[in-house]
């Protein structure tokens, strides 16, 4: 199982998935962390120069491709359309109030990570 955590610095959880500098990717085996890597964000619309809040259908394909090997994504926030697209792709979303990447990893592994769907944003769609 793999999870992705939006983070600008590999220490703190980013406030918005689309604007994060990258993702901490954690690979679990038998409930324990096996491997950790950092993937630079060159796939979200915001990082590719998309302006404004007009998110057209299909704009999330690069994000879905970047996360295709992940089972879950953790962030402080992301657009509701992205949440829906991720869930359709079988990727569970967690919008957490946790700020620390390591604490989030441990809480996820223990099945105790908070999830606050109200932290999603609408982007006018």
pLDDT by residue (tens digit) across 92-118? Answer: 999 999 999 999 999 999 999 999 988
What end-to-end distance do the CA atoms of the chain give, in Å?
Answer: 31
Average pLDDT score, the chain: 86
Residue ranges for the chain with pLDDT beneath 70: 45-58, 121-125
pLDDT score recorded for residue 51: 57
pLDDT score recorded for residue 125: 42
Domains of the chain, each with CATH number or no CATH: 2-119 (3.30.420.130)
The C-alpha atoms of residue 106 and residue 45 are separated, in whole angstroms, by 30
């Amino acid at each position: 199982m793999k999870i992705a955590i939006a983070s600008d610095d590999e220490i703190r959880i980013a406030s918005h998935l689309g604007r994060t500098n990258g993702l901490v990717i954690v690979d679990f085996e038998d409930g324990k962390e096996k491997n950790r890597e950092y993937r630079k964000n060159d796939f979200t619309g915001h990082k590719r120069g998309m302006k404004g809040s007009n998110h057209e259908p299909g704009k999330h394909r690069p994000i879905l491709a970047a996360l295709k090997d992940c089972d879950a994504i953790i962030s402080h926030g992301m657009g509701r359309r992205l949440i829906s697209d991720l869930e359709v792709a079988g990727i569970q979303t967690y919008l957490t109030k946790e700020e620390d990447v390591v604490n989030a990893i441990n809480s996820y592994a223990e099945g105790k990570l908070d999830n606050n769907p109200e932290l999603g944003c609408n982007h006018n769609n």
